Amino acid sequence: MIKPIETIYNGYRFRSRLEARWAVFFDALDIDYEYEKQGFNLALNAHRVKYLPDFWVPGLKGGSGGWIEIKGTPPAPGSQDDLGPSLLAICSEKPVFVFWGEIEIPHINTIYHCGSTTRGEIYGARWAWSDCPHCHVLGLSYLGKVSLLPCGCYKRHHYTETFEYNAISPRLKAAYTAARQARFEHGETPIPLLKDERQRTEAIAFARDIRHLDSWVTP
């Protein structure tokens, strides 16, 4: 059996490189998360599972929060990787999104790497992060549809069909790229993307102060 490599990043000891890469993705977009926040004894009818979810993301679903699970492959029906997220969704009354496979930049011809369970059953694989072109709220929606984001901008501003899908906005593409390119070997630490010019300026000033500018900042 091949065991994933534990990876230290942002103060957490992730159980795999894949989990750490998703953390880089979240940091690049300023998405708050807690890793392995709490374990649960989940029980429903005859089913009993001890389960430790990967990520709690408080900003999901308009701020009501949700869980994100990272898997190397799609959960096999009836397996613990299938049963755990399903019971978690039922018992916590929060959505559970299950990401599987390597991080990819989604496009219209791909099957997205995410399923969702809201009633205890993992269904579909065609979920993706979406970016509202008006208020720039981020969320997970079916096919990356802006119309399904909690902000409601799509309907309120009468966007045309051209703006219904926004799973590959510039900042989403940049975050996917940062996660895919993240390296942790030999003490390397990925630096999350800077959110705006003010932060970039502050980071450059700080780097100059500690005399490490040339090691990671391009003027």
**Mind listing the pLDDT tens digit for each residue in 59-107?**
988 788 999 999 888 888 777 787 888 888 888 888 888 888 889 888 7
Q: Could you tell me the two tokens for 140?
A: 């997970």
9 and 24 in contact (C-beta within 8 Å)?
A: yes
Q: What is the pTM of this model?
A: 0.79
**What pLDDT, on a 0 to 100 scale, did the predictor assign at position 67?**
93
Query: 98-136: per-residue pLDDT in tens?
Result: 888 889 888 765 545 666 666 555 556 678 899 988 888
111 and 83 in contact (C-beta within 8 Å)?
A: no
- What is the distance of C-alpha 50 from the center of its chain? 23
**What pLDDT, on a 0 to 100 scale, did the predictor assign at position 172?**
92
**What pLDDT, on a 0 to 100 scale, did the predictor assign at position 32?**
94
Say whether pLDDT at 142 is over 90: no
**What pLDDT, on a 0 to 100 scale, did the predictor assign at position 167?**
86
Mean pLDDT of the chain: 78
**What pLDDT, on a 0 to 100 scale, did the predictor assign at position 80?**
79
182-185 contacts: CB < 8 A, separation 24 or more? 182/20, 182/21, 182/24, 184/7, 184/8, 184/9, 184/17, 184/20
